[in-house]
Each structure stands twice: as structure tokens, then as C-alpha cells.
Amino acid sequence: MLTHLRLRPAPRAGFPFDVPALRGVDRIDFDPAVTLLAGENGSGKSTLLEAIAVKVGLPAIGRAATERDASLEGPAALARTMTLAWSRRTRRGFFLRAEDVFGFILALQQERRVLEDELAAAEVRFEGASDYARTLGLGPYRASIGALRARYGENPDARSHGETFLHLFRERIVPGGLYLMDEPEAALSPQSQLALIALMHDAVEAGSQFILATHSPILLAIPQARLLSFDDGPVRETRWEELPSLDLWRRILEHPASVLRHLWPTESKGGGG
């Protein structure tokens, strides 16, 4: 498992080396089971997660491989200043950004359509051939379509986004893997977030490790996880009760009107003219 990373001094100014949470940081330690990265948008937690994904070379779900992804140019520069330490090196796992799952679904749809078109063309070619010849000629296409159907269902895009996320996790999470997830809660209801936690627990019991960047107070409450805050200066370990976002969540849940009245005054009227 990934035990810690070290960062060499920034080779230049500018992003990502001017991110306050990472400036001057020499070492970041990880829990062998679950590490949670918390912080406001732009605090650097996603940047660090992306840099680790580039450094490890994990496959990215729904996008180009991390080493060829132009959107990761900044994190890739940060990765080049990293040294990773392992208790057990693994090449299993994946890197996931919530928005990439939708691209993954589109890729599945395209792959399915291509195979079905090739099968239709093969059926024309083998029309009138013997059953044996047809079996040999059509078998590979039917087998590939059947494998997609078995793994992702008859129509993966017919599921809700949350169902697709959970199904993807169930299919892709294997024992002994490293899983980097950026805001996996984006398409998950609170109930589905609890289902994800249960999946993660089973995977951890089988030797897997998770590093999550998240805003979810539910995921941030995973018991015994290492919680790192990217707010207010260099990254540091903190506790769930000390998270600034948690206080805001609590105030909204307990007294929503008193918090939101400044943003949505009660005298406001909807509609237009």
C-alpha cells in the first residue's frame, strides 16, 4: 500500500506549485485503508489526487490514460517532484473523476454499436453458409457483445447516474488495488453513499486502499480514516468535528431558513414578466 509521498521543492512558480495547501509541504502520509482529502474548491485536493494518479500510472475511467491526458498537465508537473513510498506496490486499481463516468458510458454505447454493426455485416457475409461456418464467423462478435452485456447490463445508460456509479464500482474494485476517487458523491444520494462505504469496507478487508477527495460529510465520516484538510494553509491531519464545512452543514440542516434567508429573502417572488 501507499504509505507516504515526499515533495521536492517547487522547481518554478505558478500552478500547481503555488497552491497554498501544498506550498512548503515535504511529506504527506496515507492510511493503509482510507485517506480522505477535504477542502474548498480550488484548495488543491484534486490536484494532489491527480498527481498521484499520474505518478502511479493508474488507468483512468472514462478518459485518456493519465500520461496522455492534456487536462493533467499541471498535476503531471507536480508528479515529477514526487517520490512515493510503498509497503506493498500494486498496479491494480483506477483513478476516477465523477464527471468522467459519463464519458465512460458514452464509450460503452459506442463500442456496443460498433460491435452490433460488425455483427450485422458478418451476418450478411455468412448468409447461406453452413451452420459451422456461421458459428465460427459470427461467434467473436456475439461473444464480445455478450461480455459487455454480462458486465454492464443490457442498457447501461438506462440506469440512473447513481446506479451506474455503484455498478461500476462493484465491477471494477478488486482485492489489493489502489483506488483514487475525486468527488465520487457527485451522482450518489445519501443512501447510495452508504452503499459505497459498504463496498469500500469489503474491499479494504480484501487488502485494497482508497484515497478520496470529497465534500460529502457522509464519506468524510468513514471510521478510522485519515482525514487531511487542505484549507487554511499547508495540508494537515484533522478530525471530522473540526471541518469548517461540517459547521455549515450543521447550521443548514438545523436552521435552513436562517442561513438561506440572506440568499433567498422571503419577500422574493418567483416568475417573470
Q: What is the pLDDT of residues 143-165, one digit of tens each?
A: 888 876 766 666 655 556 667 77
Q: 157, 183, 202 — which closes off a domain?
A: 157
Q: Cα 72 to the chain's mean position, in Å?
A: 15
Residue 145 resides in a domain? yes
- Rounded average pLDDT over 43-67: 84
Residue 114 resides in a domain? yes
Confidence of residue 111 (pLDDT cuts 50, 70, 90): confident
Residue 51 resides in a domain? yes
Provide the residue range defining the domain that includes 115.
102-157
pLDDT above 50 for 273:
no
C-alpha cell belonging to residue 231: 484549507
Question: Cα separation of 122 and 111, whole Å?
Answer: 16
47 and 88 in a single domain? The answer is yes
Residue 222 resides in a domain? yes
The residue with cell 454499436 is 113
Whole-model pTM: value is 0.79
pLDDT above 50 for 45:
yes
Query: What's the number of domains the chain is made of?
Result: 2
- Rounded average pLDDT over 198-202: 95
At residue 154, the pLDDT reads 62
111 and 95 in a single domain? The answer is no
**Residue length of the chain:** 273
Q: Which of 19-23, 26-30, 181-185 has the highest mean pLDDT?
A: 26-30
85 and 178 in a single domain? The answer is yes
pLDDT above 70 for 83:
yes
95 and 214 in a single domain? The answer is yes
143 and 186 in a single domain? The answer is no
Q: 124, 157, 190 — which closes off a domain?
A: 157
83 and 181 in a single domain? The answer is yes
| CB distance 90 to 3 below 8 Å | no
> What's the whole-number average pLDDT of the chain?
86
